[in-house]
Amino acid sequence: MSVDTGPLPLAPSRKGRGRPEPELPLPSREGVGGRGPGLTSEPLRQFLQAARSVGIRVSAAEGIDAARAVQVVGYSDRTVLKDTLSLVLAKTPDEKNLFDECFDLYFRRDSLAQEDEATTDPRAPTVQSGFGGEGSGGGGGRSLSQMLLDDDRAALATAMEAAARESGIQNIRFFTQKNLYARRILDRMGLRQVERDMEALRKDDQQVAADRLENRIEALRDQARDLVERNLLLFARGETEKFREELLKSARLSNLERRDLERMRVLVRAMAKRLAARYAKTRRRRLRGHLDARRTLRKNMGWGGIPFVTVWKQKRIEKPRVMVLCDVSGSVAAMAQFLLMFLYALNEALKDIRSFAFAGSLIEVSDILESEPIETAIAKIMQAMGFGSSNYGNSLADFEDGWMRLVSNKTTIIILGDARGNRTDPRTEILQRLSQRAKRIIWLNPEFRSAWGTGDSDMFRYKPYCNVVTVCNTLRHLERVVSDLLKDAA
């Protein structure tokens, strides 16, 4: 297969179809893999930066593989380039979709907008005097004014991309920076000189040429804004998503808007997966244990004591057995949904999760969570028990009657609730008996500490029988509690 190592033509030939529609040139292969000067590897480097920004995991080794692949296939055939980089960089179906979107956006080269034919006078006099000037190259040494009057859109597009690169467009992070970068690009192309040239044309009574220049500079501004918006989508997406995620993690779950719930579900799944993987890694390391020298020597007596086969001292590690009691009454319903979702996602890391929901009474919901998709399961639970008035005394009595016998010294009980029983009997003696049987009791209260004990809150009555009592009303609080639970279990 022969590969063209030369630069792409600025504009395809379209004989018989009127004026051609040039595209910005894709960079040549020279310099990829260290075989030539600089511009060649810069577009690939920026594309890898954009790919990471949209969520594609690209390691240093994969970046080297991508450079070597581009060195083989070149930039001349965009379809081949896309397929090649997709094979090297995208590892999952989701990443394939992200890659397609990122590639099409990054390598898209729109033609500069043309003025309406009605505003173009073919009999307009040609401006003979040259324009001096500042601005980026790409027009064969011509100024921006001359390129605009000649309507050399290929040269304009090349100059715009060079100016964008010089202005550091890949550093854009927020939508409020769009006008700033658009102005930077135009200034580097030579906009100030164009404004002076228009003034000079009007003084020389060349009003038609000045009007043509003004119309085309407006089209150039639109093109610059479009270029900045595309780069905003490419390079700012990751930073924007990260900033939004940090805000959501720190926001009170009860204050979340409906439009944020789906994003929060994604964060919960990712957080649960990360904690489960961290726990599994620790567990595998500890399971290996220490070398048992005595048993190793005995095992290898047939080889003269040379330790071909090693024997390790292993310690059995029990996964924590967890029973979760979630208050799904109206005051804490939003928080309960996220705790159920979080523990559902941690099912592989935790053994024997038993989930219960209560308001005025208590029921087990483990079967619903195991047999239904999480969104459907939570909807069913909330429909059956949610949004009612809470009665902690009755709920604890229901738990004692039905499941107290299953509680052992290996069981961790997590209670989520605000401890507001609407002035009913709190039945603290039941919680005392539970604390004597269980390994520990963790109470997560979505209210601030200043509200504990006020009004109908019984939190201070329950607190002496709990091992941990803490405020938990954000996703970050929830992550910390479950992380500590897994750490102690490991």
User: How crowded is the C-beta side of 2, counted as CA atoms within 13 Å?
Assistant: 2
Q: For residues 265 and 435, what is the distance between their CA atoms, to the nearest angstrom? A: 32
377-404 pLDDT, tens digit per residue, is 878 888 887 677 889 999 999 999 999 9
Question: Contacts for 366-370 with beta carbons within 8 Å, 24 or more apart?
Answer: 369/340, 369/344
How high is the mean pLDDT of the chain?
Answer: 75
Q: Is the dihedral of CA 275, 280, 283, 288 positive or negative?
A: negative
Amino acid 178: pLDDT: 81
Residues 6+ apart with CB under 8 A from 212: 115, 119, 120, 121, 124, 148, 149
CB 27 within 8 A of CB 107: no
Nearest alpha-carbon partner for 475 in 305, 312, 244: 244
- Residue 298 pLDDT greater than 90, yes or no: no
Residues 6+ apart with CB under 8 A from 237: 53, 54, 55
- Residue 14 pLDDT greater than 50, yes or no: no
- Residue 62 pLDDT greater than 80, yes or no: yes
Nearest alpha-carbon partner for 382 in 318, 320, 337: 337
Q: What percent of the chain has pLDDT over 70?
A: 71
Confidence of residue 318 (pLDDT cuts 50, 70, 90): low
Amino acid 486: pLDDT: 66
How many C-beta atoms lie closer than 10 Å to residue 50's C-beta? 22
Q: What is the mean pLDDT of residues 329-351?
A: 68
For 227-374, strand residue ranges (E) read 290-291, 312-313, 321-327, 351-358, 362-364
Residues 6+ apart with CB under 8 A from 376: none
Q: What is the mean pLDDT of residues 56-76?
A: 87
Q: For residues 277 and 258, what is the distance between their CA atoms, to the nearest angstrom? A: 30
236-288 pLDDT, tens digit per residue, is 666 666 666 777 777 777 666 666 666 777 777 777 667 666 666 555 555 55
29 token code pair: 């292969």
Integer CA distances (angstroms), 35 to 5, 29, 30, 209, in order: 11, 9, 6, 46
In the CATH hierarchy, which fold is given to the domain comprising 320-489? Rossmann fold (3.40.50)
- Residue 5 pLDDT greater than 80, yes or no: no
CB 389 within 8 A of CB 300: no
Q: For residues 309 and 300, what is the distance between their CA atoms, to the nearest angstrom? A: 7
The structural domains of the chain, with segments of one domain joined by +, span 38-106, 140-238, 320-489
